[in-house]
């Protein structure tokens, strides 16, 4: 069994690595932009020296993604789970509150990290996912409905067009809405043939991470989750996914979010 977490240096990505290593007998490939500035991830590798591999990968670099895919192909030959976790709210750290705050540069950087990067990950890792063992998720007795692997794109509720009643946060909302469309497209293409890959978008809730920290004062205490709690909820969803759920968007509590 092998799983790759893209964006694993901190926050949700780091806790996905911890959960996978502690709950499953699985090799974890953890990627981040600069392993030298990821002390928690490096400490985790010391705890699981034989099961955790750290690779340098900037999700905005197609060369990095290609090189990482070749490394995983060489070391493992297949992949059972891919989680695209890294994201940014805005290069400034704060979402645009109105149209006057929108800039072409800010939109480009946000989309490159939140949308284009995960899609490039899918492009280069899809062949490995199609060779997976189906170790994650719930397999169906009907062989024609069985899956080989799972691809997870971390989305956000604010990326839902149907749920948007407040506006603002142009770049982040747009990037996550576009990522949801990419997930849906991937579910169609990778759901054909015998080697099916389940593709879903998952919303982790409002999590106590650097991305959301500037807005914690507006979040009720009971609705601000620790990374551990959020990841536990999301892993429960992942462990119970079937091909019937591919192409959908789920919230941390298992409810389906509107596109």
pLDDT at 219: 56
Question: For residue 106, what are the CA distances in angstroms to 112, 164, 175?
Answer: 10, 21, 11
Q: Tell me the CA end-to-end span of the chain in Å, nearest whole number.
A: 32
Hey, is 56 helix, strand or coil?
Answer: strand
Q: 54, 46, 48, 47: which is closest to 71 by C-alpha?
A: 54
Q: 54, 55, 52: which is closest to 22 by C-alpha?
A: 52
Q: 172 and 158 in contact (C-beta within 8 Å)? A: yes
Q: Where are the beta strands (DSSP E) in 45-160?
A: 52-56, 81-84, 147-154
In this structure, how many other beta carbons lie within 10 angstroms of the beta carbon of residue 247? 19
Enumerate residue ranges in the chain where pLDDT < 50.
none
Residues 48-73 have pLDDT tens digits of 999 999 999 999 999 999 999 999 99
Cα torsion 84, 85, 89, 90: sign = negative
Report the distance separating Cα 120 and Cα 186, nearest Å. 11
pTM over 0.75: yes
In sequence order, the 6+-apart residues with CB closer than 8 A to the CB of 74 are none
Residues 175-216 have pLDDT tens digits of 999 999 999 999 999 999 899 999 999 999 887 666 655 555
pLDDT at 171: 96
Tell which phi-psi region holds residue 205, choosing left (phi > 0), alpha (psi between -120 and 50) or beta.
Answer: left
CATH topology of domain 2-251: Rossmann fold (3.40.50)
Q: 142, 144, 169: which is closest to 156 by C-alpha?
A: 169
């Amino acid at each position: 069994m092998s799983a790759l977490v893209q964006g694993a240096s901190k926050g949700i990505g780091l806790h996905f690595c911890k959960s996978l290593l502690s709950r499953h007998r699985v090799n974890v490939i953890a990627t981040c932009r600069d392993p030298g500035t990821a002390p928690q991830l490096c400490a985790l590798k010391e705890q699981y020296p034989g099961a955790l591999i750290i690779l340098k990968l900037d999700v905005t670099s197609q060369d990095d993604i290609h090189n990482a895919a070749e490394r995983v192909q060489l070391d493992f030959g297949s992949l059972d789970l891919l989680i695209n976790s890294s994201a940014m709210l805005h290069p400034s750290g704060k979402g645009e509150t109105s149209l006057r705050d929108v800039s072409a540069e800010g939109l480009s950087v946000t989309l490159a990290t939140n949308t284009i990067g995960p899609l490039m990950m899918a492009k280069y890792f899809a062949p490995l996912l199609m060779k997976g063992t189906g170790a994650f998720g719930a397999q169906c007795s009907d062989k024609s409905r069985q899956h080989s692997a799972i691809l997870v794109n971390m989305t956000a509720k604010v990326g839902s067009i149907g749920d948007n009643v407040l506006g603002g946060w142009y770049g982040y909302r747009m990037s996550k809405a576009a990522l949801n469309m990419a997930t849906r497209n991937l579910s169609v293409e990778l759901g054909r043939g015998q080697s099916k890959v389940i593709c879903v978008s998952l919303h982790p809730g409002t999590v106590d991470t650097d991305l959301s920290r500037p807005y914690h004062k507006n979040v009720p205490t009971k609705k601000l989750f620790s990374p551990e709690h959020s990841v536990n909820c999301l892993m429960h969803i992942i462990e119970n996914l079937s091909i019937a759920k591919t192409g959908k968007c789920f919230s941390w509590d298992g409810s389906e979010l509107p596109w």
